[in-house]
Amino acid sequence: MQLSALLPKHWPAVKEIYEQGIETGIATLETKAPEWEAWDKAHLVHSRFIAEDQKEILGWAALSAVSGRCVYAGVAEVSIYIAAKARGKGIGKILLEKLISESEKQNLWTLQAGIFKENIASIALHEKCGFRTIGYREKIGKLKNEWKDVALLERRSKLVGND
């Protein structure tokens, strides 16, 4: 398993994995993956990674800003997706740990994640990596005419922002 920066050339495989997540119905409110330009604009330039095994991309993780206001410059939201055939093999934990490490190098003090309540595996993964559930956003959006509740998880860095 090798981790490397997520680059534009990886987008076709990354997009396919994103679409596999969309198909589960428990990963996102999105119903289709964006094109590269839109995805690139929505995510921070740093802290974008892919997990590869024998040149096959099996997962990806990235961060997006939670706000354009400077007071929230140290807070980012996690996106992490694992290829259907690679789920349950520890790739998510490897990617999330790398994302956490890199976020701290980039001076981020809080990472947050919004996860559908029924996505038990993703909630467990985040908890293993130091996230805690701080609440729920009830009926935050509809997916296929069904209101979805989202657990809000957060991880506060022990290295950054503790002054």
Distance CA 99, CA 81 (A): 13
Q: Which among 75, 42, 29, 99 has a CA at the least distance from the CA of 91?
A: 99
Q: How distant, in Å, are the alpha carbons of 2, 99, 103 from that of 77?
A: 23, 11, 11
For residue 30, give both structure tokens.
């999105």
Grade residue 44 by pLDDT with cuts at 50, 70 and 90: very high
Mean pLDDT of 149-154: 96
What pLDDT is recorded for position 72? 87
Mean pLDDT of 94-116: 97
What pLDDT is recorded for position 163? 74
Q: Which among 12, 1, 63, 56 has a CA at the least distance from the CA of 35?
A: 12
